[in-house]
A and B are shown apart, each in its own frame.
Chain A
Amino acid sequence: MAQRGAPVGLVESGKVPKPLSWLLNYSRKYSLWVYQWGLACCAIEMGAAFGSPRYDVMRLGVIPLPASARQADLVVVSGTVTDKMAPPIRRLWEQMPDPKYVISMGSCANCGGPYWDSYSVTKGIDQIIPVDVYVPGCPPRPEALLEGIVLLQQRIQHEDMADRWRGEPLVVGGGPIS
């Protein structure tokens, strides 16, 4: 994991003027392209949040257009992650270009939820990818997801870009996972 190149960027060197960093944060905040990543029941509530005109997540600037991880900024892990699915998830997350955000939606993604004692379910998505916001519920109402998104947006607005840019790769259990 040490192959990071010399910091070429302005941001990484921490020299971004205030107004500019405000603008950059603002635009990341309101332009979150979210990868259509449905896993289980929660995916349907996520679909409702994205697709139902009653909630219409596009209002918040969350655009559910991209079908490829390469264009996504945000991923909502919505539902049960099985051990078989975990490696693809890790990979898809890695394949998203930085800066990227993760919302863990529902008990399954948070902790394993109803399947806490199942032999085939990963107990918590944060074991494999770093999570920015946890939305509780089983499934969370679409509004709850919207609330999570608003929370994430507040977080983005106030985050330190250099930190996010430099963000250390996730370390699980003491060593980097691949």
Chain B
Amino acid sequence: MLALSYPVETAIKMGAVLAVIPVGALILVYVFLFKMMSHMQSRLGPMEAGFHGTLQPVVEGVKFLQKEDLIPNGADRRIFALAPLVVIIATFLIYAVIPAGPDLVISNLDVGVFYALAVGSLSVLGVLMAGWASANKYSLLGSLRAAGQLIAYELPLVLAVVGVVIQAGTMSLSGIVEAQAEGEIFGFGGIGNPYILTQFIGFALFVVSSQAELTQAPFDMPIAESELVAGYMTEYSGFRFLFFFIGEFATAFALSAIAATLFLGGWYFPGLGTDGALANLAGPIVLMGKIMLMAFFIFWMRFTYPRLREDQLQTFAWKWLIPISLVNIAVTGVLKVAF
């Protein structure tokens, strides 16, 4: 890696990440929300704006830029305006620790995963702010539900990661990738040790809870259209709504990336090495592929399933996911100590 001075390096990183996040979110919107959903329903999805509708997400953005920005009477204007910012900044901050290659990481924190989870949990705040400040019943109910759900699934999400941390012995995401790359399964190290194999339960827990964390069906009550109109987003219009929308998909992108990093080996691809230029070049592509794979599963479920009821969802989290994840931790710990 070239030795760049800190300001230059930071500027490059910022430029990259500010470009990557919206683009990544838009890709998810296009590929999954528009195209995949449509094809699953034997339709085509957007076709007119650009070749096969490729410009559609861009057009959406520019459209929302032109929309009036309404703040309803009775709303708490400042908080109403700030809520989407909180959500989207929380999302952006997650990306700080996701490595896209041996050296391609904004900031390789020692507490990486932990940081990502902590920052990700901030969006609850934004949701509650939005619901409260809108002075709308649907919003309030929606935000309480959303917050209840987000925190209920925050836990299994956090606990599912513990198994990986135990195995890798580090919380740094780069460290976890390296541990997977260098690990071996029963002495066979050809493909490293993607933790999906040894931590399958953790992986399943993580996927299910990130589904809930993203408020995707079957866990999408907070924005359940047929009940609460649009939940906490009901009163939002124009660009502020777009922030929530983008935030949702950017979070999906981030969580897919984290899942890919934790369980699928992140940027590592067998044979490409764990450092050097090749890994740095191929890393982002490999990671992107894995992210798409993860996102495919997430959206596949979203477009297939009906949603659970709020209490069923809570029950599911507390009676199934959390006990299972606790057991998973204990078992992983025992195995780690035993071997």
Contacts and interface: CB of A to CB of B under 8 A. Distances in A.
B66 interface: yes
A177 interface: no
Nearest to A28: B63
A67 interface: yes
A97 B60 CA distance: 15
A87 interface: no
Chain B interface mostly: loop
Contacts of A27: 58-63, 66
A67 B46 contact: no
Contacts of B42: 53
Nearest to B66: A24
Interface string B169-186: 000000000000000000
Contacts, number: 95
A56 B43 contact: yes
Contacts of B47: 59-60
Interface in B21-75: 34, 38, 41-49, 53, 55-56, 58-64, 66-70
Interface in B138-169: 138
Contacts of A30: 46, 48-49, 55-56, 59, 63
B48 A59 contact: yes
B48 A70 contact: no
Given A30-B55, A71-B230, A58 B38 contact: yes
A20 B49 CA distance: 17
A71 B236 CA distance: 7
B273 interface: no
A26 B62 CA distance: 9
Nearest to A31: B63
A58 B43 CA distance: 9
Contact of B70 (A56, A63, A70, A73): A70
Given A28-B66, A30-B48, A70 B59 contact: no
Interface string B228-246: 0110011111100100000
A118 interface: no
A143 interface: no
Contact of A70 (B41, B49, B235): B235
A14 interface: no
Given A27-B62, A28-B63, A31-B59, A61 B229 contact: no
A99 interface: yes
B275 interface: no
Contact of B67 (A23, A53, A68, A97): A97
Contacts of B241: 70-71
A97 B49 CA distance: 23
Interface in A27-68: 27-28, 30-31, 53, 56, 58-61, 63, 66-68
A76 B336 CA distance: 62
A53 B61 CA distance: 25
B9 interface: no
Interface of A: 23-24, 26-28, 30-31, 53, 56, 58-61, 63, 66-68, 70-71, 73, 95, 97-99
7 contacts: A31-B62, A61-B49, A68-B233, A70-B236, A70-B237, A73-B63, A99-B67
Given A67-B230, A68-B229, 20 more contacts: A24-B62, A27-B61, A27-B63, A27-B66, A28-B63, A30-B49, A58-B38, A58-B43, A59-B44, A59-B48, A61-B48, A61-B53, A61-B56, A61-B59, A68-B230, A70-B70, A70-B235, A73-B63, A97-B237, A99-B66
